Amino acid sequence: MDEPRRRTVDFERFRDLAGGPLYRGNPFAVSGLPTDATSRAVRQQRQRLEARLAVQRTWPGDADSPLAGGFDGGEVRAAFERLQDARLRLVDEVL
């Protein structure tokens, strides 16, 4: 009798999100984009924020968000990289 295959699941992303980082690290919160943003809107926002971060150290985020404030260039770049990966974006849309 064959043993049932065990599937390994990578829960690292969920561990990374435990606590405050769940929202603070969400690329939609960082970028100020809605979860239904089109690829074009993502590209345009990335260009706007890269230009802004070229002259100032941080991006305050979406003023309507309770998480607004103090995203540095590294956080912004990481957020847009996550939005480029369809699987990671789906996880972040749900969260």
Q: Residue 50 sits in a domain of what CATH number? A: 1.10.287
Domain annotation covers residue 1:
no
Confidence check: pLDDT of 24 > 90: no
Q: Which residue has the tokens 């979860």?
A: 35
Question: What's the domain count of the chain?
Answer: 1
**What range defines the domain where residue 28 resides?**
12-94
Q: Note the Cα 37 to chain centre separation in Å.
A: 12
More confident residue, 23 or 21: 23
Question: What is residue 33's predicted lDDT score, i.e. its pLDDT?
Answer: 94
pLDDT in tens, 41-82: 999 999 999 999 999 999 888 777 776 668 999 999 999 999
Domain annotation covers residue 83:
yes
Confidence check: pLDDT of 5 > 60: no
pTM: 0.73
Q: Note the Cα 74 to chain centre separation in Å.
A: 12
Token pair recorded at residue 67: 């998480």
- 31 and 45 Cβ atoms separated by less than 8 Å: yes
Domain annotation covers residue 29:
yes
Question: What is residue 60's predicted lDDT score, i.e. its pLDDT?
Answer: 85
Exposure on the CB side of residue 15, measured as CA atoms within 13 A: 4
Number of residues written out for the chain? 95
